[in-house]
């Protein structure tokens, strides 16, 4: 199956051709560890994890690097306000980030470097940039000479003249050109600093990713990912630095995830509209968040709403109820052969995943599979039943849409039912009433179907008949 990836360098979907056949060198910009992560940050993290999983499921050997930015202005500012050492403060939040990532069912990356542990490589790269004529030093500060890099703006489709016209802030007098950016800055009191050929100081923001990518992946990468806000200037500057230092292409494919919006604005700390990952997960569980984040294609905006949330809860419940139910399925010994829908599910999912990482499309096939398997659950041959379990494992490995611990996911949702209604809802009982109502409707026993609806209503359960024939339910508070 040919993998196609939308490459932001060319703004087109292209056949993905890694430098070395079967191997992928993949870098994703990781979080700045100064505070707890919010569910907008979670989108960038889960999309990186999704690419990682999809590559693996399509048979690639992946070297996946996701960094922690643990040296940064925001960290220093926050640490100083708390009277804490900046590196210690960042180390605390690296651990908190790990907790959040685990709660989202993310696979470990191959390497997770920190800026504070990459100083020799950062300094060496700045030396190379200067030696190659792209960097200059003013008062202990090293700056990148942007006009020297002729293809600057190629990724973000900006040109230098346009950039200068767009500069509103007063231009730093040290800079030869308003777009020049800092590679190394001199130490200030109360800030972490490292020895360098230019005196004690610390790196600018962009150089870390160039240095870490080279350290673990080499000079040229196959894919680089980050949130869409990182395309300019961060990724543009990464390209300028790496190509100036290494003299060759930095990365062949660039992918950016769109924002998670809240009330049509980007969810961000500066706008004050954030929901922390752990606050969300405490109520709904990480699987619901993961599910919602991958149920929209990574290049489309995700508008957060009550409806999106309820659909996420409902779908996660449906998937995991089904997964547990399959454990009690028994093969029908009188049947043989493989059911065609079950047989075609993995390849249908792979086809979607190969189409620019379309996890939402793959999930669609998985739901068709669920409905079908439920409808023929007593007529599964041994081969079909074995394949049912294989499809579930594939959905888990390739997208994480199925959790590795379905019991925990359902237990969390059950807690949610209690929280919202004030009454203990027995999900199994509800499901069995819904099943009975379905049978009543098929046998045209309308009185019993209505009666069941009333029983559920009395339990504050609202049911909805979906156009695809499934029934969803929720607790009305």
Residues that bind Zn ion (CB under 5 A): 29, 209
Among 25, 43, 317, 320, binds ligand AMP (CB under 6 A): 43
Q: Which of 149, 143, 145 is nearest to 243 (CA)?
A: 149
Interaction between residue 226 and ligand AMP (CB under 6 A): yes
- Out of Zn ion, ligand AMP, none, what residue 209 binds, judged by CB under 5 to 8 A for its kind, is Zn ion
Half-sphere exposure of 357 (CA within 13 A, CB side): 28
Q: Residue 29 or 380: which CB sits closer to Zn ion?
A: 29
Among 7, 8, 33, 41, binds ligand AMP (CB under 6 A): 41
Interaction between residue 317 and ligand AMP (CB under 6 A): no
Q: In whole angstroms, how far apart are CA 143 and each of 152, 207, 229?
A: 15, 11, 22
Q: Please list, residue by residue across 185-200, b when 16 or more beta carbons sit within 10 angstroms of its beta carbon and e when fewer do.
A: bbbeeebbebebebee
Say how far apart CA 349 and CA 358 lie, in whole Å: 9
- Out of ligand AMP, Zn ion, none, what residue 377 binds, judged by CB under 5 to 8 A for its kind, is none
Residues 91-150 that bind ligand AMP (CB under 6 A): none
Number of residues that bind ligand AMP (CB under 6 A): 16
Q: Residue 260 or 380: which CB sits closer to ligand AMP?
A: 260
Interaction between residue 259 and ligand AMP (CB under 6 A): yes
- Rg of the chain (C-alpha set): 26
Interaction between residue 227 and ligand AMP (CB under 6 A): yes
Contact 258, 228 (CB under 8 A): yes
Interaction between residue 40 and ligand AMP (CB under 6 A): yes
Q: Residue 44 or 163: which CB sits closer to ligand AMP?
A: 44
Among 154, 220, 268, 445, binds ligand AMP (CB under 6 A): 268
Minimum distance, C-beta of residue 36 to ligand AMP, in the bound complex (Å): 11
Say how far apart CA 388 and CA 386 lie, in whole Å: 5
Q: Please list, residue by residue across 238-247, b when 16 or more beta carbons sit within 10 angstroms of its beta carbon and e when fewer do.
A: bbbbbbbbbe
Can you say whether the dihedral through the CA atoms of 349, 352, 356, 359 is positive or negative? negative
- Out of Zn ion, ligand AMP, none, what residue 48 binds, judged by CB under 5 to 8 A for its kind, is none
Say how far apart CA 273 and CA 290 lie, in whole Å: 19
Among 14, 73, 229, 436, binds ligand AMP (CB under 6 A): 229
Interaction between residue 266 and ligand AMP (CB under 6 A): yes
Contact 184, 126 (CB under 8 A): yes
Q: Which residues bind ligand AMP (CB under 6 A)?
A: 29, 31-32, 40-41, 43-44, 226-227, 229-230, 259-260, 266-268
């Amino acid at each position: 199956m040919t993998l196609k990836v939308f490459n932001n360098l060319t703004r087109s979907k292209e056949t993905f051709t890694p430098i070395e056949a079967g191997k992928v060198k993949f870098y994703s910009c990781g979080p700045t560890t100064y505070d707890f992560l919010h569910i907008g940050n979670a989108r960038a993290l889960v999309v990186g994890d999704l690419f990682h999983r999809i590559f693996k499921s399509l048979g690639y050997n992946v070297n996946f690097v996701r960094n922690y930015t643990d040296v940064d202005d925001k960290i220093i500012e926050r640490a100083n306000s708390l009277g804490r050492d900046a590196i210690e403060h960042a180390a605390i939040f690296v651990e908190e980030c790990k907790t959040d990532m685990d709660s989202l069912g993310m696979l470990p990356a191959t390497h997770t470097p920190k800026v504070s542990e990459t100083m020799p490589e950062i300094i060496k790269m700045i030396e190379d940039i200067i030696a190659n004529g792209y960097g200059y030093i003013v008062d202990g500060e090293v700056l990148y000479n942007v006009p020297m890099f002729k293809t600057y703006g190629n990724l973000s489709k900006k040109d230098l003249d346009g950039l200068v016209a767009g500069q509103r802030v007063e231009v730093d007098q040290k800079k030869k050109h308003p777009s020049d950016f800092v590679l190394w800055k001199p130490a200030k009191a109360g800030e972490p600093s490292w020895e360098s050929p230019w005196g004690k100081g610390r790196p600018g923001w962009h150089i870390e990713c160039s240095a870490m990518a080279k350290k673990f992946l080499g000079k040229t990468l196959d894919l680089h990912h980050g949130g869409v806000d990182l395309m300019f200037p961060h990724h543009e500057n990464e390209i300028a630095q790496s190509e100036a230092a290494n003299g060759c292409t930095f990365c062949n494919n660039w992918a950016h995830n769109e924002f998670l919006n809240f009330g049509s604005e980007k969810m961000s700390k500066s706008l004050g509209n954030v929901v922390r990952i752990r606050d969300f997960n405490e109520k709904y569980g990480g699987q619901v968040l993961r599910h919602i984040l991958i149920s929209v294609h990574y290049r489309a905006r995700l508008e957060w709403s009550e409806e999106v949330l309820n659909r996420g809860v409902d779908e996660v419940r449906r998937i995991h109820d089904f997964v547990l139910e399959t454990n009690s399925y028994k093969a029908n010994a009188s049947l043989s052969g493989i059911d065609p829908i079950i047989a075609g599910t993995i390849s249908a999912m792979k086809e979607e995943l190969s189409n620019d990482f379309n996890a939402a499309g793959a999930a669609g096939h998985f739901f068709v599979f669920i409905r079908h398997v439920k409808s023929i659950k007593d007529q599964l041959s041994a081969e079909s039943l074995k394949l049912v379990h294989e499809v579930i494992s594939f959905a888990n490995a390739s997208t994480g849409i199925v959790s590795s611990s379905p019991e925990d996911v359902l237990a969390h949702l059950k807690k949610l039912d209690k929280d919202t209604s004030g009454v203990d809802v027995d999900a199994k009982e509800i499901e069995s009433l819904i099943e009975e109502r379905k049978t009543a409707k098929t046998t045209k026993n309308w009185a019993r179907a209505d009666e069941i609806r009333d029983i559920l209503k009395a339990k504050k359960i609202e049911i909805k008949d979906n156009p695809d024939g499934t029934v969803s339910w929720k607790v009305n508070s």
